[in-house]
């Protein structure tokens, strides 16, 4: 492809982000930036994807260090992408984790546990989006249509959680569910704003 789209997938060194990147690489239509908080893991993932059979020669994959819990890391990642590519066409806010804890178990305070879950699954995604917005706006030059994707979860659905079927699972996963419900609102807010 003459002018491939530049896509950043956060948390792409493993899991869903990795597999999405692997599939995108097969099209040859993208420059895929493997976001990873550990640059070595990101580089290993990028190499693995590049070595997959069946990738078109136009496929480009590279690792970018980005830690959602660090403003500095997010800022430097945006600076790097801006200097190297001048724009971002698609931002996939995928990085996140599932905190299974339902109590403190003598470890960190409940406040700290809750803060950590929201810091990655919600606040980090907001800071990443803010930092990359200027580069996404530059994507419209040349008739492209920039996209922001948020990887949410059915566990964040207010409708599904309150459908009254009595499933005891609905009493669990308070932390994760709350982070993903809030992320849904963040996504809708961006959709309305942009």
Ligand X SMILES: NC(=O)c1ccc[n+]([C@@H]2O[C@H](COP(=O)([O-])OP(=O)(O)OC[C@H]3O[C@@H](n4cnc5c(N)ncnc54)[C@H](OP(=O)(O)O)[C@@H]3O)[C@@H](O)[C@H]2O)c1
- Known catalytic residues? 176, 180
Query: Among the candidate windows 21-29, 66-74, 78-86, 135-143, which touches ligand X by CB under 6 A?
Result: 66-74
Our finding on whether 177 is near ligand X (CB under 6 A) is no
Measured from the CB atom, the residue of 4 and 44 that comes closer to ligand X is 44
Q: Of 65, 117, 120, 139, which one interacts with ligand X (CB under 6 A)?
A: 120
CA–CA gap between residue 93 and residue 99 (Å, rounded): 18
Our finding on whether 14 is near ligand X (CB under 6 A) is yes
Our finding on whether 67 is near ligand X (CB under 6 A) is yes
Residue with tokens 């895929």: 32
Query: Among the candidate windows 1-9, 11-19, 84-92, 128-136, which touches ligand X by CB under 6 A?
Result: 11-19
Measured from the CB atom, the residue of 98 and 110 that comes closer to ligand X is 98
Measured from the CB atom, the residue of 94 and 129 that comes closer to ligand X is 94
**Shortest Cβ 57–ligand X spacing (Å):** 27
Our finding on whether 11 is near ligand X (CB under 6 A) is yes
Backbone angles phi, psi at 54, to 5 degrees: 95, 0
Q: Of 95, 113, 135, 182, which one interacts with ligand X (CB under 6 A)?
A: 95
Distances (CA, A) of 94 to 1, 23, 83, 171, 186: 25, 15, 23, 25, 14
Q: Take residue 7 and report the two structure tokens written for it.
A: 């896509």
Which has the closest alpha carbon to 142: 92, 85, 93? 85
Please check whether residue 101 is in contact with residue 175, taking contact to mean a CB–CB distance below 8 angstroms.
yes
Farthest CA pair distance, the chain: 57
Please check whether residue 14 is in contact with residue 20, taking contact to mean a CB–CB distance below 8 angstroms.
no
Query: Among the candidate windows 33-41, 79-87, 127-135, 161-169, which touches ligand X by CB under 6 A?
Result: 33-41
CA–CA gap between residue 117 and residue 69 (Å, rounded): 10
- Which residues here bind ligand X, judged by CB under 6 A? 10-11, 13-17, 37-38, 41, 67-69, 94-98, 120, 124, 151, 153
């Amino acid at each position: 492809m003459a002018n491939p789209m530049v896509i950043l997938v956060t948390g792409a060194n493993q899991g869903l982000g990795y597999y999405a990147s692997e599939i995108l690489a097969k099209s040859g239509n993208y420059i895929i930036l493997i976001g990873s908080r550990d640059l070595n893991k990101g580089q290993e993932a990028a190499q693995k994807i590049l070595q997959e059979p069946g990738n078109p020669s136009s496929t480009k994959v590279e690792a970018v260090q980005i830690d959602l819990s660090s403003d500095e890391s997010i800022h430097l990642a945006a600076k790097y992408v801006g200097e190297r590519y001048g724009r971002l066409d698609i931002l996939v806010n995928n990085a996140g984790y599932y905190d299974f804890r339902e109590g403190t178990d003598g470890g960190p305070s409940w406040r700290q546990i809750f803060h950590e879950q929201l810091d990655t699954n919600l606040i980090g995604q907001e800071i990443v989006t803010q930092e990359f917005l200027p580069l996404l706006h530059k994507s419209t030059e040349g008739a492209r249509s920039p996209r922001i994707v948020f990887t949410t979860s059915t566990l964040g659905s207010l409708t599904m959680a309150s459908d009254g079927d009595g499933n005891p699972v609905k009493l669990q996963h308070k932390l994760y569910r709350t982070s993903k419900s809030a992320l849904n609102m963040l996504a809708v807010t961006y959709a309305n704003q942009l």
